[in-house]
Every structure is written in structure tokens, then in C-alpha cells.
Amino acid sequence: MVKPAGKQSCGRLVFFSFLALLAVGLVADFLWASSHRFSSSMISLPSSVTTVVGKLPPSSNEKDTKKKKNDNARERKLSATFQDLPAPQLHWEKMSPSPVPRLDGAAIQIRNFLYVFAGYGNINLVHSHVDVYNFLDNTWGGRFDMPKEMAHSHLGMVTDGRYIYIVTGQYGPQCRGPTAKTFVLDTDTNTWRDFVPLPVPRYAPATQLWRGRLHVMGGSKENRHTPGLEHWSIAVKDGKALEKEWRSEIPIPRGGPHRACVVVDDKLFVLGGQEGDFMAKPGSPIFKCSRRLEVVFSDVYMLDEEMKWKVMPPMPKPDSHIEFAWKVVNNSIVIVGGTTEKHPETKKMVLVGEIFQFNLNTMKWYVIGKLPYRVKTTLVGYWNGNLYFTSGQRDKGPDDPAPRKVIAEMWRTKLILYP
């Protein structure tokens, strides 16, 4: 049996962090009162105290009945519209769905092929194979297996056009530990090779090839929640490491998982992301996921030849779960869906239903269209003027932006950019 590296020590770390968190969590839960219980199926513990205490409901000196009425009215309004931005309606065409539904999968486009990797089918089931979509005839096919020891979600992934580098990630379903194991796929032969493991495992680190080096930064640490700031790189060529070890690079200004990492015109950008994530419930034999409140951000940073991070114009709203939800088209970064800041009252996760464009000619952001629904961890491709997305987890409906169904659907629309 394959065991993810560092699972033992990771388990202990998670356990002790949780004793502390649980203690404060219980106090917070008492203060919070039972009316604000979370209802999503993935949520089973009180949220972490730092976020919740800062946002306690108004104190009880208001009249109870009046307050309840106001709350209901406000809640209805908020849940319908919270953080949706005005955006043009687009014509969406439904294509053939992926062979399996996927959440937190990964995707790489090479020419007319979209390679779609791994992901959760549901919270208790993870995929260990690749499906391939062909934009030429709009069909799925060419399924092949991943190495048994490769992570199943929260992967870092990037391609040079032939070789795909697959770095670290979560091994197994629910909220299991990460592995540092790293692989290379040769897409000419569909063969896999081992690669130099990352110094320590990470969840969903920002990953890119830049100036002949594979760069990996940020992500969550071994407990799945604590943001990592570390940044490593290693020289690579044709799917092989040219060095024995990863080297430390300038840390990322803000850590955490689920951001887009893009190289355009010799500059490296990291966009959006979050600090914090679901964690394994202490003592749970299945590493059951429990909610920890995350902070989603709109920050955009850029690294150029000076090797200093520069702050770029922020995204139109905080956006996370977008690591494979982007394409570069005509010197613009296009980002599809994601998650934004949690609902201010229910604390539920809020999905994003817009497409964003960051025009690198003008350094301006635009909201360029509405998706068929709000959806996170989309896997995005671009072919012949059309923007495609597949997979992810969609909202409960137009009036409820909280996550519900894991999807296999594939959609496309004509991409219209601001010049």
C-alpha cells in the first residue's frame, strides 16, 4: 500500500492544532448561539474563533422579534445577490460532459487536447486517472491511469507544451494529508516519470515554469489550513530536473492555496486565492472534512527579472479555487468562476458566476460575462475563438450561491475580450 509521505507527523500536527482550535471553537460556539449552525454537508465543527468572534451578530439589547424579522429580510436579499457583479449575458452551448464529475481536479491544454486529471467524484471518492477532451471533434476519450502514488486533488501542475509537471497535492478523499511526491507526464507517449519531491508537501500551491525553472509557491501546509509562504524552484528541461534539489526563492507576499499562477511575457503573476481551508476532524478515521473559515482575496502579485514581488491592480472581487480556471488569450488573463468571500451572515461558501479579464496591455480588469451558473474549480480551455469550461462544483441555484453539485458538464461560449 502506498502511504503519503509525512502522513504520520502530519496527523499528529493536525491533532494537536485541533485540541487548541476545538477548545476556542467550543467557546466561540457558545457565544455564537445555536441559531447559526452551518448546514452544508461538509461542515461539522464550529468555525475558527478568530473569524467568528470578529463577526458576532449585534448584541441582544435589540428587541428579539424585531431583530429576527430584519434578519430574515436581509438574509433573503443577501442570499440572492451577495457579491454577484453585473456582467454581460453570454450565449452558452452545452457540449458533451466529461466521463466523470470532478471537484478540485486539474487541467492542462496542449494544442487541441485538454488533459483533465484526478479530482473528487464526491467527498468520499477520488479519481486516479486522466480524461482527454479533443477540441477538434469535441469528444472525450483517451482515458489513462495516473501513478498510484500521485495526489488526487490540490495538485500543482504546469506544462512546457509536451511534458506536464505534477507537483505535490492531497492524497486520498475527504481531508486527508498531502504528499510531496512529484511526477512528469510525457504527453507524446503518455508515460510517467518520477521527479524530485518537493521539500515538504503542500496543498494547491501556485506552480509555473519560468525562465527555465519549475516554480512552486504558497499553498496550504500539512494541516491543510495554515498558509505556506515558501517558494522553491528547480531547473528543468524536457521533463527532467537539471539539479538535485529544489532551491529557496523569494517567499510569496501572501500564502495559501487555490490561486491562479500565470506566466505572460516573461512575467510571473499570482492571482486571487485564499488563506485557510477545510481541515480533517481530529481523530476521524476517515479524515472527515470540517469547516475552517477561509479568507479569500483579490490580490494580484507579479514577479519580474528584479525578483521582487510587485502589487498589481486587484481582481474585481476576491476569487479563489481558480488554479486551472484561466487561459491567456491576446495578452489578457481570462479567469472563469471560483469562490469569493463567505456569506456575511450564514458564513457559507459563496461561488462566483462571472468571467474576468485582466488586460495586460492596459493593466485593467473587466467583468466580461456571466456563466450558466456560479461554479468553482472549473477546468478551462480555449480553442478557435471559444472559451470552454468543464467540471467543478456549482451553486444550489440562482438564489443560493452556496456550493452543491459536483459536475461533469462541459460548456463553451464565444470569447469576447475588451481590447
Q: Which residues are at the interface with ligand NAG (CB under 6 A)?
A: 329-330, 415, 417
Shortest Å distance, C-beta 419 to ligand NAG: 7
Supply 44's cell numbers. Answer: 461539522
Which residue's CB atom is positioned nearest to ligand NAG? 330
Shortest Å distance, C-beta 414 to ligand NAG: 8
Shortest Å distance, C-beta 382 to ligand NAG: 8
Shortest Å distance, C-beta 353 to ligand NAG: 21
Decide whether 241 or 329 has the Cβ nearer to ligand NAG: 329
Edge-to-edge order in the sheet of strand 326-329 = 326-329, 332-340, 350-359, 364-370
Measured in degrees and rounded to the nearest 5, phi and psi for residue 294 equal -100, 160
Cα 375 to Cα 404: distance, rounded to the nearest angstrom: 9
DSSP H or E run through 18: helix 7-32
64 class by beta-carbon count within 10 Å (0-12 exposed, 13-18 middle, 19+ buried)? exposed
Shortest Å distance, C-beta 91 to ligand NAG: 15
Decide whether 13 or 417 has the Cβ nearer to ligand NAG: 417
Decide whether 89 or 384 has the Cβ nearer to ligand NAG: 384
Pick from 193, 288, 307: which is nearest to 248 by CA?
307
SS3 for 140? strand
Decide whether 100 or 335 has the Cβ nearer to ligand NAG: 335
Decide whether 32 or 388 has the Cβ nearer to ligand NAG: 388
Cα 25 to Cα 19: distance, rounded to the nearest angstrom: 10
Buried b (16+ CB within 10 A) or exposed e, 87-106: beebebeebeebbbbbbbbb
Pick from 95, 133, 97: which is nearest to 115 by CA?
133
Decide whether 191 or 330 has the Cβ nearer to ligand NAG: 330
Decide whether 45 or 334 has the Cβ nearer to ligand NAG: 334
Decide whether 333 or 415 has the Cβ nearer to ligand NAG: 415
Shortest Å distance, C-beta 15 to ligand NAG: 50
Shortest Å distance, C-beta 264 to ligand NAG: 14
Shortest Å distance, C-beta 330 to ligand NAG: 4
Strand segments, DSSP code E, in 39-159 are 93-95, 106-110, 113-117, 120-122, 125-126, 129-134, 139-145, 156-159
Decide whether 179 or 413 has the Cβ nearer to ligand NAG: 413
Cα 221 to Cα 223: distance, rounded to the nearest angstrom: 6
Shortest Å distance, C-beta 94 to ligand NAG: 21
Helix H, strand E, coil C: the string for 312-370 is ECCCCCCCECCCCCEEEECCEEEEEEEEECCCCCCCCCEEEEEEEEEECCCCEEEEEEE
DSSP 8-state code for residue 242: S
CA quadruple 263, 268, 272, 273: dihedral positive or negative? positive
Decide whether 79 or 332 has the Cβ nearer to ligand NAG: 332
